[in-house]
Structure 1
Amino acid sequence: MNETTPRQTAAKALSLLDLTDLTENCDEAAIERLCRQAATRHGHTAAICIWPRFVKQARALLGENSPIRIATVVNFPSGDLPVDDVVAETRQAIADGADEIDLVIPYRALMAGDEAAVRQMIRAVREVCAPPVLLKTILETGELKNPDLVRNASHLAIASGADFIKTSTGKVAVNATLEAADIMLNAIRESGRKVGFKPAGGVRTVGDAALHLRLAATIHGPDWAIPSTFRFGASGLLGDILAVLDGRGSGGSSAAY
């Protein structure tokens, strides 16, 4: 990534973006806007990520054969729902047209030492996510805090059948960090499995995206980050991507390119 220009990074980030609206006041008009925004003049995002109640509407708007995938969240954001409820929520979301399920693991149970709860939840949801539906597992790394816990959660999720491991819900004080990304990307490498990585929450600029892509390239190689292995979960990143691609410069960067 060292020789990559901001414009090249922006174009790559666009193709890897899960354009997200998980705000409490999200409504049908917001979903219409999100679906329009996901198809930009420079290309489309990888997916939109929305509440389950809007999946059916989004599917009708995008159509059955859209290249823009529909991701939704389950056991979100608490991670505390009963397994049967989460499985039912997942089944309904898939029936409504979801392509991808972003599942919050029972991270508080893990913090209390209950690894079995994590395995049980992921395996139960995995069972109803038949290919080509993707299962992304949200570890809530900012709450886990301890690097050993983040590493353990990553390996548990991968071993239990996750297609992706994702940092955060975006609903807590600390979300995606490079420290968590480093641990999670190395856990994927150590597993020897084809599992993707999704930093979510706090990736706001092309500069932020560049740092995560550079880290992924260092650990996995320069060509590793593609939509099947890497996503950004963000609501505000698209504006900065478009500013860079339009030649207007970054709309503000919390990190250098």
Structure 2
Amino acid sequence: MDTRELRVCAAVALSVLDLTNLKDDCTAKDIDDLCAKAFTGFGNTAAICIWPRFIAQARNILGADSLVKIATVVNFPSGDLEVAEVVAETQKAITDGADEIDLVIPYRKLIGGDEGAVSEMVRAVRAVIKAPVILKVILETGELKDMALIRTASSLAIAEGADFIKTSTGKVAVNATLEAADIMLQAIRDSGKNVGFKPAGGISTVKDARLYFRHVNAIMGEDWLMPSTFRFGASGLLNDILAVLSGEKSSEPTSDY
């Protein structure tokens, strides 16, 4: 990849990045820093992705009409909460100022054969989310493992109104992979619906990002790489993006693929 192509890739990656801090020890100061980092000399990230307890703080910092959206997580990371509890989490998050809800499906129940539990969860959360707030559904593909099961999870989420389907929480051993991306993108394409895709976890370099961009271009077309249909969930990727855009050398792809 030549320098110009790498810089173009970095610029696109910046525009579709959900800059994330979901560390267990995240502090209010970390959120202040994250909000500041979302605005760079080369443009802004698409969103920040944070724990629900920090939404009000981030909204106060960013303001009501920020170019950077606030994403948060519900039923996270276990996917094991009761539907009513997750609905309540979602409603509070929206009241506090969240623009985007990243919902973990009950993936363990799906592994056990209970497809209905996934449909019920997504349907219930979708019912309390009104535009312009959007719903991203996390499949936890590294735990599903089986490609047929990833396809099933994708189709169930899409059928119940997901605005995006997302690979991972970033909290398990295997997170985003190109193999899972293939299955999920094909499910979106075959559905005929306007649903986005978000790989998350283990994506830390512009060269990593380029691998996903190639898959998206091949399956969905080159006009699909925009914040309304594609996001990266990452914490460290911004550092490499800024290095590339500043004329420094990009790191090599990570070993997570």
**What's the TM-score, normalizing by structure 2?**
0.97
Q: Partners of 1:134 and 1:212 in 2: how far apart?
A: 22
Contact 1:196 1:228 in 2 (8 A): yes
Alignment correspondent of 1:36:
36
Deviations 1:130-169, CA, capped at 9 Å, x for gaps: 0111100000000000000000000000001100000000
Alignment correspondent of 2:53:
53
C-alpha displacement of 1:252: 3.9
Aligned AA for 1:16? V
The runs of at least 4 consecutive aligned structure 1 residues that moved more than 4 Å come to: 1-4
C-alpha displacement of 1:251: 3.6
Contact 1:243 1:251 in 2 (8 A): no
Deviations 1:10-31, CA, capped at 9 Å, x for gaps: 0000000000000011010000
Alignment correspondent of 2:87:
87
Cα RMSD (Å): 1.4
Where does the alignment leave 5 or more consecutive residues of structure 2 unmatched? none
Does residue 1:17 correspond to 2:12, yes or no? no
Q: Partners of 2:78 and 2:168 in 1: how far apart?
A: 11
Alignment correspondent of 2:226:
226
Where does the alignment leave 5 or more consecutive residues of structure 1 unmatched? none
Deviations 1:204-232, CA, capped at 9 Å, x for gaps: 10000000011000001111111000000
Contact 2:38 2:45 in 1 (8 A): yes
Aligned AA for 2:44? H
Q: Partners of 2:31 and 2:71 in 1: how far apart?
A: 13
Alignment correspondent of 1:216:
216
Does residue 1:237 correspond to 2:228, yes or no? no
Alignment correspondent of 1:127:
127
Contact 1:2 1:214 in 2 (8 A): no
C-alpha displacement of 1:249: 1.4
Aligned AA for 1:192? G
Alignment correspondent of 1:192:
192
Matches within 5 A, 1:125-164: 125-164=125-164
Contact 2:202 2:254 in 1 (8 A): no
SS of the counterpart of 2:200? coil
Q: Partners of 2:143 and 2:241 in 1: how far apart?
A: 29
Q: Partners of 2:25 and 2:110 in 1: how far apart?
A: 31
C-alpha displacement of 1:111: 0.4
Q: Partners of 1:80 and 1:150 in 2: how far apart?
A: 18
Contact 1:216 1:224 in 2 (8 A): yes
Aligned residues: 255
Deviations 1:156-214, CA, capped at 9 Å, x for gaps: 00001100000000000000000000000000000000000000000110000000011
C-alpha displacement of 1:85: 0.4
Alpha carbons of structure 1 residues 154 and 248: separation in structure 2 relative to 1, 3 Å: same
Does residue 1:8 correspond to 2:14, yes or no? no
Deviations 1:47-98, CA, capped at 9 Å, x for gaps: 0000000000000000001000000000000000000000000000000000
Contact 1:70 1:99 in 2 (8 A): yes
SS of the counterpart of 1:122? helix
